Structure 1
Amino acid sequence: MKNAFKIIVFAVLVGSYATSHAQTKRKPNIIFILADDLGYGNVQSFNSNSKIPTPNLDKLAGEGTKFTRFYSGNTVCAPSRCALMTGYTMGHAWVRGNAKGKDGLGALRAQDTTLAQRLQNNGYKTGMFGKWGLGDEESKGAPHLKGFNSFYGYLDQSHAHDYYTNHLYEIVGGKTVEIPTDTTKYTEDLIVNKAVDFINANKDQPFFLYMPLTVPHAELKVPDALLKKFQNADGSSKFPPETPWEKKGNYDSQAQPHAAFAAMVNKLDADVGTIVELIKKLGLDNDTYIFFTSDNGPHKEGGADPVYFNSAGPFRGVKRDLYEGGIRVPLIVRAPGKVPAGKSEASPWAFWDILPTFGELTGTATPKNIDGLSFFPLLSGKKPVKEHEYLYWQFNESGLKEALTKGDWKLIRFKETGSPEKLELYNLKSDIGEKNDIAANNAATVKELYALMKKAKTPAENPRFDWSEVEK
């Protein structure tokens, strides 16, 4: 009898140990929150002169590591997200600019494998809630074909300008389909609620949650209750003077664009707080990495005023520029007990590095031919095995623009059809605002970086982004 009792106790202890051991071996959850057109200078922990309070983001930075020289994939929406999803720079990516249409040239192809697909194949439940931008429901780039078990939100950037729409898209029955929405509901609320549902439904297994939120992208519109937080008792704006925006193109009228923009940033901050608090409430803090960043620099559309809000911080330029203000974005990574708290990391990394970083973080295979490198060791206070020799961007609206950084040096190239090229050189260590073009006095450095710029790109496979005519 005693022996039987001992066997039972032993079995219970072994089972308890096995359960505990399995729990410690659980793959970590990843939450990647992507703001839309949020400037580096719009987050107070990155810019103490910011006029808009961001308490939840500041707390996230205090509990994690902030990267002060992190770059977006591009200076506009779709190509930046392509770099994030595929690990390629604009010198090699399929989607190198904003494009839409039934020809599918603005969508990912069947052979373009995303980080979500790789995580999904490694046992992760994957969900995306917000703006996709890399393929409509009929294309090969539709969310259900690109690694997502769940999706709810917008498929393209034009539709995402409307915060009170009559339809969004969702994965239903394994396919991405259009669904009706209540036009009195603010879509940011609908999207965040779906993300909360996803976390609750998948709390007992490893999950990847991608939240490409739409705020504070134009149009500048928020519910009255949120706007009132940034109005005085008489209804006037707390951010005078206001210049009303009259309805134009995709963007509706806004009498108080300063107050509306502040409310949108504040809404974003509150939504980040909602997600963090839910993770804590569910006891998932020790199993979850939270990443927060923005898809590119601040916009000046629909009445937005990046100069007033110092949205680019100390940097020159905004969205659609390849100066630092257009591509340098805040990155915060939080994982209690794993990522150093209160640390500031100044080494240069970019969107194309996220895929291999997630690969190393989760034990997911990473393809060898991508441009990205893993910075996962930095998240535990170590030095990466390999760092970039240089970083490269390419953009074409109103002519071709290219930029390349190597260390503190930065070369920017401008080329319009039928016109000579223009080269600008800056030293980011001594001139973070890119105010002094020193190309004329540093011919050898210009030559070196120009050669790397040619090395960093191949002709675009996608005919929509064939810019060879510009070079003539």
Structure 2
Amino acid sequence: MKPKIIQPIGICLILFFSLSCKVSPVKQQAARQPNIIFLLADDLGYGNLTCYNSRSPIPTPNIDQLAREGTRFTRFYSGSTVCAPSRASLMTGLHMGHSYIRGNTRLPLRLQDTTLAQRLQSNGYVTGMFGKWGLGEEGTPGSPEIKGFDESVGYLNQRHAHNYYTDYLFEVKNGKIQKIQIDSTQYSHDLIIQRAYSFIRSHKDQPFFLYLPVTIPHAELFPPASDLKAFQNADGSSKFAPETPYNQNGGSYRSQPQPHAAFAAMLTKLDGNVGELQRLVKELGLDNNTYIFFTSDNGPHKEGGADPEYFNSSGPLRGIKRDLYEGGIRVPMIVKMPGKVPAGRVSEQPWAFWDILPTFAELTNFSVPASVDGLSFVNELTGKGPQKPHEYLFWQFNEGYLQQAVVQGDWKLIRFKRKGQSETLELYNLKNDIHENNNLASAYPDKVKILYGLIKQSVTPAEHSEFDWSTVEQ
């Protein structure tokens, strides 16, 4: 029998179907919901990154690369000026006038406080949280397995997270949470970050949300000796002289003879992790379907020997953690997604933590309750605008005395009130005075009146007396 001769049209059909089979997985990936990685640094200052502050003495090349490949936001704000309320705002989409958690406390989220992780989980996402939670401990309604996380390894209690060398962490697996024993000589951040990488590898074939609230560069300033060595001279002295040793003296942080070198080592480790994360995403072929968000929970700290003035950690801004000046609440925000988020772009659009939930809702198609304070900023992320702006942004902080702040456009009003004392009002034009040096309250009384009215309308009574300043004399 003579062999059959395949006609040219037959060859074309075979090639067509062969190529179709080969590209179908790519089409499937393109049609899949996008992955989201949200990396939250702990107490990282606006000025600690060289892409935000050329005067920073510690290079951050990997984070700078992320900014070059994505969009860098210069007016992004945290939920609060300290950890727990800031993270509560991120998770629930509420600002400090409405949030259940309004200060640093062990108070957990309630059952009715629905998080963005729960909404993503209900929308088909596998969800992971690796690092510091701070919104509910084991056995409370705010525990991470209840608040939307399929997998988790890290700290539940903020104070426990001060200890980078610990003999236990908490793990969520198969819907249950348990305490796990770890090697107390191992730097816990390294263990946590590796578990986060494993989460990505394990779930590369399905839509995932990775919440990565790392514990660095917050105190304690005690990185591994191998990391510290890069910032020491041959004789073991610090390259960042002069050093003022930090002594524990009964405090919650370890003593550190070279806190400048230690902070440099921690920031460099964080930058290295960002580089590793980007390489892993590319290696797994996820780069074109993964949003990477990078930010900080509040301004830089001065705890455990940290020295924000030495490192110019607030950059051009005034204030640090626990202030409602810009240095306490304005934080870096970089977002990358090839083909979706413009590369090399810088945006001056003001937005905040409480906008993340509605933004994720639009990116992944889940519904947003009308009660949230945030707006979707997808138009600003994609650069396709026009972006609906906020009428104003609001913060409140009650530690020791009452601080309230409102930003509307370029104008900012800060209210200070101590019990038994008259209030103080400070008005700044952020466009002309980013460092908040020139108080214009007496020169612009009409503007003060407008912004003061916004402060008053922004606060609902807190459900716990430690946050409720509604009885403070007006």
Q: TM-score range by the shorter chain?
A: over 0.9
Corresponding residue to 2:35 among 29, 32, 56: 29
Q: Is the 8 A contact 2:150 2:174 kept in 1?
A: no
Corresponding residue to 1:92 among 93, 98, 110: 98
Q: Spell out, residue by residue over 1:365-393, the C-alpha distance to the aligned partner (whole angstroms, 9 max, x if none).
A: 22222100011111221224521010000
Does residue 1:61 correspond to 2:67, yes or no? yes
Measured in 1, the distance between the counterparts of 2:275 and 2:94 equals 31
Q: Is the 8 A contact 1:417 1:469 kept in 2?
A: no
Alpha-carbon shift at residue 19 of structure 1 (Å) = 4.8
Alpha-carbon shift at residue 262 of structure 1 (Å) = 0.6
Alpha-carbon shift at residue 59 of structure 1 (Å) = 0.6
AA matched with 2:217: P
* More divergent stretch after superposition (171-180 vs 330-339): 171-180
Corresponding residue to 2:426 among 414, 418, 424: 424
Correspondences of 1:98-117 after superposition (within 5 Å): 98-100=104-106, 106-117=107-118
Q: Is the 8 A contact 1:72 1:296 kept in 2?
A: yes
Query: What residue is the counterpart of 1:268 in the other structure?
Result: 270
Measured in 1, the distance between the counterparts of 2:380 and 2:307 equals 35
User: Which SS does the other structure have where 2:145 is aligned?
Assistant: helix
Measured in 2, the distance between the counterparts of 1:253 and 1:351 equals 33
Q: Is the 8 A contact 2:45 2:314 kept in 1?
A: yes
User: Which SS does the other structure have where 1:465 is aligned?
Assistant: coil
* More divergent stretch after superposition (375-384 vs 423-432): 375-384
AA matched with 1:314: P
Alpha-carbon shift at residue 236 of structure 1 (Å) = 0.8
* More divergent stretch after superposition (20-29 vs 135-144): 20-29
Q: Spell out, residue by residue over 1:385-408, the C-alpha distance to the aligned partner (whole angstroms, 9 max, x if none).
A: 521010000001111100000011
Measured in 2, the distance between the counterparts of 1:201 and 1:385 equals 36
Measured in 2, the distance between the counterparts of 1:471 and 1:189 equals 49
Corresponding residue to 1:328 among 312, 330, 339: 330
Measured in 1, the distance between the counterparts of 2:412 and 2:202 equals 46
Q: Is the 8 A contact 2:380 2:387 kept in 1?
A: no
AA matched with 1:245: Y
Measured in 1, the distance between the counterparts of 2:388 and 2:344 equals 24
Q: Is the 8 A contact 1:376 1:384 kept in 2?
A: no
Q: Is the 8 A contact 1:375 1:384 kept in 2?
A: no
* More divergent stretch after superposition (123-132 vs 355-364): 355-364
AA matched with 2:56: S
Alpha-carbon shift at residue 272 of structure 1 (Å) = 1.1
Please list every run of at least 4 consecutive aligned residues from structure 1 whose deviation after the TM superposition is greater than 4 angstroms: 5-20
AA matched with 2:30: T
Residues 10/277 of structure 1: CA separation in 2 closer, same or farther (3 Å cut): closer
TM-score (ref. length: structure 2): 0.95
User: Which SS does the other structure have where 1:185 is aligned?
Assistant: coil
AA matched with 2:64: D
User: Which SS does the other structure have where 1:468 is aligned?
Assistant: coil
Measured in 2, the distance between the counterparts of 1:85 and 1:424 equals 30
User: Which SS does the other structure have where 2:442 is aligned?
Assistant: helix
User: Which SS does the other structure have where 1:441 is aligned?
Assistant: coil
Query: What residue is the counterpart of 1:127 in the other structure?
Result: 128
Alpha-carbon shift at residue 422 of structure 1 (Å) = 0.9
Q: Is the 8 A contact 1:34 1:295 kept in 2?
A: yes
Alpha-carbon shift at residue 23 of structure 1 (Å) = 2.6
Measured in 1, the distance between the counterparts of 2:473 and 2:224 equals 47
Measured in 1, the distance between the counterparts of 2:53 and 2:283 equals 30
| Percent of residue pairs identical | 63
Q: Spell out, residue by residue over 1:18-37, the C-alpha distance to the aligned partner (whole angstroms, 9 max, x if none).
A: 65543321111000000000
Structure 2 gaps of 5+ residues are none
AA matched with 1:115: L
Q: Spell out, residue by residue over 1:311-363, the C-alpha distance to the aligned partner (whole angstroms, 9 max, x if none).
A: 00001000000000000000000111211111100010100001111111111
Query: What residue is the counterpart of 1:103 in the other structure?
Result: none
* More divergent stretch after superposition (358-367 vs 134-143): 358-367
User: Which SS does the other structure have where 1:34 is aligned?
Assistant: strand
Q: Spell out, residue by residue over 1:420-442, the C-alpha distance to the aligned partner (whole angstroms, 9 max, x if none).
A: 11111111111110011110111
Q: Is the 8 A contact 1:66 1:345 kept in 2?
A: yes
Q: Spell out, residue by residue over 1:172-216, the C-alpha distance to the aligned partner (whole angstroms, 9 max, x if none).
A: 341222111111100010000100110000001110000000001
Query: What residue is the counterpart of 1:409 in the other structure?
Result: 411
Q: Spell out, residue by residue over 1:47-80, the C-alpha distance to the aligned partner (whole angstroms, 9 max, x if none).
A: 0000011111011001110000000000000000
Query: What residue is the counterpart of 2:231 in the other structure?
Result: 230
TM-score (ref. length: structure 1): 0.95
Query: What residue is the counterpart of 2:220 in the other structure?
Result: 219
